[in-house]
Amino acid sequence: MRESSSHENDDGRQAGSGAPSPGESVPAHRERAPEPDDRHPEPDDRVPEPDDRVPASGRRGWIRRHGPETLIGALIVAVVAALVPVALTALIQNDGSSASGKPPPAKPSAAATPDCKGETCHGLDPEKAGCTQGTITLRDDWAGLMRLEIRYNPACETVWAKLTGAGPGDTVSISTSPGKQHTTEVDWGKTKYTAMLHAPRKNFSAQATAVAVKGYPDHEIPKGYELRIGANATHLPTPTATARQS
C-alpha cells in the first residue's frame, strides 16, 4: 500500500499546510496589521508652522552665539563705511586741491610787528625784538674770510653791526656817536652781531669795527687787525630803488 505524500501532525493538520483546521483560532502574532490611514496624519508628521521651526531655546542660543557682539560689529562696520568717504574727501581737500583740481590761493602772510621803534630799541637784540624783517645792508667790507656789515632796519629805525667768518675771541662794535656804542665778542661759531642803536632815517651816521684778535696768518691778517666801515642816511636806498629790488 503506497504512503501518502503528506504527513499529518499530531494535532491532525497536514505538515507544511498554512491553513488552520476547522475550529482552530488564529494566533495573535499571525493577525494582519491594519493599514495606515493616510487621510489623518499623526500629529508628529504635520508640517510645522513658521514660528514653530526654530524653538525658543534655539533662538536664544543663536543670540548667545551671534549677539550682541555680532550686532555691535555690524553697527561698527556700517559707521566706518559711512565715515571713510567723508575722511577721504577731507584729506584730499587738505592736501591742497580744490573741487576744480586747482590748488587754493595762498593766503598773504601778515608782516611781523616789531616790539620797538627808535630810541626804545636801544640795546635790544634785533632778532628778539622783531627788527630783522626788511633789513638791508648799508655798507660791507672783507678781510680774508671776515666780512663786516652795517645793517639797517627802516621799520625800527635802527642800525647794528654783523661779523661773519670770524673766530672765537674776535670782536665787533657799532657806534652812532661817542656816547652810543655797543661791542660784543665772538664766543663760539663764526658769526656775531651787536645790539641795536637808534638811527633816524633822515639823519644818522654809523661806524662799525671788527678786530681779528688772534689774526689769520693763512689769509695774511695779522694779530689785532682792525676792519672799519661807515654808513649814513645817504646810503639808504630810494623808494624807487627799493621797489625795483622787490
In a domain, 82, yes or no: no
pLDDT digit string (tens) for 16-27? Answer: 445 555 555 545
In a domain, 152, yes or no: yes
In a domain, 212, yes or no: yes
Identify the domain containing residue 179 by its residue range.
118-234
Beta strands 197-198; 205-212: pairing state: unpaired
Rounded CA-CA distance 234/40 in Å is 125
Does the pTM surpass 0.85? The reply is no
Residue 172 and residue 161 in contact, taking contact as beta carbons nearer than 8 Å:
yes
174 burial via Cβ count (<10 Å: 0-12, 13-18, 19+): buried
In a domain, 14, yes or no: no
In a domain, 160, yes or no: yes
pLDDT at 76 over 80: no
pLDDT at 3 over 80: no
Mean pLDDT of the chain: 76
In a domain, 191, yes or no: yes
Mean pLDDT for the stretch of residues 33-52: 52
**Lowest mean pLDDT segment, chosen from 4-8, 112-116, 154-158, 227-231:** 4-8
Domain containing 154 — which CATH number?
2.60.40
Q: How many domains does the chain have?
A: 1
| Dihedral angle over CA of 58, 63, 64, 70, nearest 10 | 150
In a domain, 20, yes or no: no
pLDDT digit string (tens) for 56-67? Answer: 555 566 555 555
Beta strands 146-153; 158-164: pairing state: antiparallel
Reported as a pLDDT band with limits 50, 70 and 90, residue 96 is very low
Query: Which residue is listed with cell 499571525?
Result: 30
- For 143, 146, 221, the CA distances from 140, given in Å and listed in that order, are 11, 10, 18
pLDDT digit string (tens) for 168-222? Answer: 999 999 999 888 999 999 999 999 999 999 999 989 999 999 999 999 999 999 9
In a domain, 103, yes or no: no
